[in-house]
Amino acid sequence: MRSIGEMARDSGLGVSALRFYDRAGVLVPAWVDPVSGYRWYEPEQLEEARLLARLRRSGMPLADIRLVLASWSGADTDLVRKLLKAHLRRLEQGLSDARSEFSALRALLDHRENVMTSLRIATVRLSITAPRLAAAVDAVRFAASTDPELPMLGGVLFDIEGESLHVVTTDRYRMAVAQVGIAGHDGSRVQVIVPTPLADAMRALLDGEGPVRLSVDGDRVALEAGGTQAAGQCLDHDFPDYRRLLPQVAGRRAVVEVAAFRKALETGPVRSGETGAYDLSMLRVEDGGTVTLCAEGVEDPNRVAVNREFLLDALTAGARDRLILELGTSTTPIAIRRPDDEGTFSILMPVRLED
C-alpha cells in the first residue's frame, strides 16, 4: 500500500488536498490507521489520483469531478466527454468575458489622468542620517520582487512627502514599509522606484554615522555619502498605491520573543504548501496574547497559515528582540511590527487552506 506522502509525491496532489478529497468522499483511502489516523492507499488508486489532479488543475467544479471519477472506468464514456466539453465551454466563455473586461479597463487607464507621472517629474534635494536610511533599507529589502514579469515591483520605492521618507517594497505576497525623518525637502510629494541593484549600491555607502544627501532629478536618483556617490536611473513604472494595501482594522496582537519564536518556527510543525515548494506554519493567538503553532491535523477556525520562510525573513528584518504579531482572520494579512517604531513594519499574505 502507498502512504499518503507517497501518494502526494507521485500523484501531483498535496497531502492537504488528499485529506480534503477524503473528507469530501471523492478519493477515499483504502485504510486509515485507527490510532494515528494515517491514510493508506491501494496502488491502483494512483491512476485515479493523477486523474483527479488533472481535473483539479483545470479548475473543474467538485461536483463535476465526482461524476467524472465515477464514470471514468465504465464502458460508456459519453457522460465524461459531455462533462469535459461543458467545462471547456465554461472556461472559454470565462476567458472571453475576462478579455472584454480587460479591454474596458485598458480604455479607462488610457483616459485616466496619470497623477503618478507628475509625482516622478521633480527635483529633490534632501538630507538624512546614514544609520536611519540604512536601517530603513534593511527593513524592507527582503520583500523586493524578483519576478521579471512585474518590473514595477523590482525596486525600492522612495516616497518623499513633507518631513518623511517612506521606503517600500512588495512582491505581492509580502510588503515591507519603513518610515524615516528627512530634512531639506519643501513638502511636495515625490515618488521614485530605485532598482534593487542601485538600492544595494546605496546601502553599501551607509556605513558612517553622519548625514548623507539624496537627490532626485527627473528620472535619475543619487545618494552621496562621504565623498562617494551611487547614482542611476529610476524605474519608469508606477508603484502600486501601497497605502491602500495596509490593514484597515487591527487584528489580535501578541508580543513574541524573536529568538524563541524563531526556534519554534524552525523546529515546530509545518504543512506543505500547495505545490510542495514551501512549508507553511499555522499560527493562532491565544486568549492570553501568546502565539502558538497549530499541529498538523488540528482543526481550528482561528488558525492562520503563512509561508514559514517569509515569516522568518520578516523576523530578521524586524531587527528587534521583541516584535508584535498582528493576526486577523485566515484571509487577512499578517502584520509584523516593532514595539518602538510603528512606522516600520512588514505584511505577509496568508495562504488559503483547502481544508
Q: What is the mean pLDDT of the chain?
A: 87
Q: Are residues 123 and 233 in the same domain?
A: yes
By residue count, the chain amounts to 355
With cell 520583500, the residue in question is: 143
C-alpha dihedral (83, 84, 90, 92), degrees to nearest 10: -160
> How many independent structural domains does the chain possess?
3
Which residue from 53, 48, 55, 6 is spatially nearest to 28, judged by alpha carbons? 48
pLDDT for res 354: 59
Q: Are residues 122 and 210 in the same domain?
A: yes
Local confidence band at 119 (pLDDT 50, 70, 90 cut-offs): low
Which residue from 336, 329, 351 is spatially nearest to 281, judged by alpha carbons? 351
Model confidence over 198-216: pLDDT tens digits? 999 999 999 989 899 999 9
Percent of the chain at pLDDT > 90 equals: 51
Domain annotation covers residue 94: no
Q: Are residues 148 and 182 in the same domain?
A: yes
Instruction: Say which CATH number the domain at 74 has.
Output: 1.10.1660.10
Model pTM above 0.75: no
Q: Are 294 and 304 in contact (CB under 8 A)?
A: no
Model confidence over 168-188: pLDDT tens digits? 999 999 999 999 999 988 778
Residue 113 burial class via C-beta count within 10 angstroms: exposed 0-12, middle 13-18, buried 19 and up: exposed
pLDDT for res 296: 67
Domain annotation covers residue 22: yes
Q: Are residues 76 and 120 in the same domain?
A: no
Local confidence band at 274 (pLDDT 50, 70, 90 cut-offs): low
CB contact burial 73-111 (16+ within 10 A = b; e otherwise): eeeeeeebeebbeebeeeeeeeeeeeeeeeeeeeeeeee
| Helix or strand run (H / E) with residue 192 | strand 190-195
- Look at residue 149 and give its three-state secondary structure: coil
Domain span at residue 200?
Answer: 115-243
- Joined grid coordinates for residue 91: 472556461
